[in-house]
């Protein structure tokens, strides 16, 4: 089962994803994609670790900023895998590739590798991501590329997910059950 949890910054996505995992299993693998590149991020990572420890859920944390598909393949037999978060993973890839040729195509290939891995995934995975396109248009070209790639990634991951939750103000809503279904004849036209 593939579950995508999306929403704005500080909306309660991670807390919801962790609680949801605890409802489905007794232990799990936590894939942390954040890198402690500055003091603020170091504090945020430490806070997330402390919060996970306080819950009593048995997490095995793997810090992996780049190879999320590989981690999923190596831990497909885990009771649950939680990836937090895909937009940080995307940012890591984008910053690593910055200045290279065909950056967008290379990142889209990484997104495709992720969705292919998810499509064949036999275990239970929960993926946390941010909705970054609901705000203002970024002033810088790299920011606009990031926003666009995040939208593409979220759409593609949602398409292969069994459940998609939008968390707003700490309230999770499952979107796939509410999704509009095109009448068969109109969908083909």
Q: Which residue positions form the known binding site for GTP?
A: 7-14, 32-34, 49-52, 63, 84
Set 48, 91, 117, 132: catalytic member: 48
- Can you say which residues are annotated as belonging to the binding site? 7-14, 32-34, 49-52, 63, 84
Q: At what angle do helices 39-55 and 13-24 cross, to 10 degrees?
A: 30
Query: Among this protein's residues, is 75 annotated catalytic?
Result: no
- List, as own/partner pairs, every contact residues 51-58 make where C-beta atoms lie below 8 angstroms and the sequence separation is at least 24, other chains included: 51/15, 51/18, 52/18, 55/18, 55/22, 57/18, 57/21, 57/22, 57/26, 57/27, 57/28, 58/26, 58/27, 58/28
Residues in the chain: 189
What residues are annotated to the active site?
Answer: 48
């Amino acid at each position: 089962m593939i579950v995508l949890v999306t929403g704005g910054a500080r909306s309660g996505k991670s807390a919801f994803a962790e609680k949801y995992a605890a409802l489905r299993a007794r232990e799990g693998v936590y894939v942390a994609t954040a890198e402690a590149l500055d003091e603020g991020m170091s504090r945020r990572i430490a806070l997330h670790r402390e919060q996970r420890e306080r819950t009593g859920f048995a997490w095995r944390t793997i810090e992996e900023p780049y190879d999320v598909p590989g981690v999923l393949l190596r831990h497909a037999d885990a009771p649950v895998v939680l990836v937090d978060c895909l937009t940080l993973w995307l940012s890591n890839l984008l910053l690593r590739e910055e200045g290279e040729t065909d950056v967008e195509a290379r990142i889209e290939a990484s997104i495709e590798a992720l969705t292919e891995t998810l499509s064949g995934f036999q275990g239970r995975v929960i993926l946390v991501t941010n909705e970054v396109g609901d705000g203002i248009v970024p002033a810088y070209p790299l920011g606009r590329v990031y926003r666009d790639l995040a939208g593409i990634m979220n759409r593609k991951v949602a398409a292969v997910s069994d459940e998609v939750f939008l968390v707003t103000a700490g309230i999770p809503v499952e979107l796939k059950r509410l999704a509009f279904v095109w009448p068969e004849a109109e969908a083909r036209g």
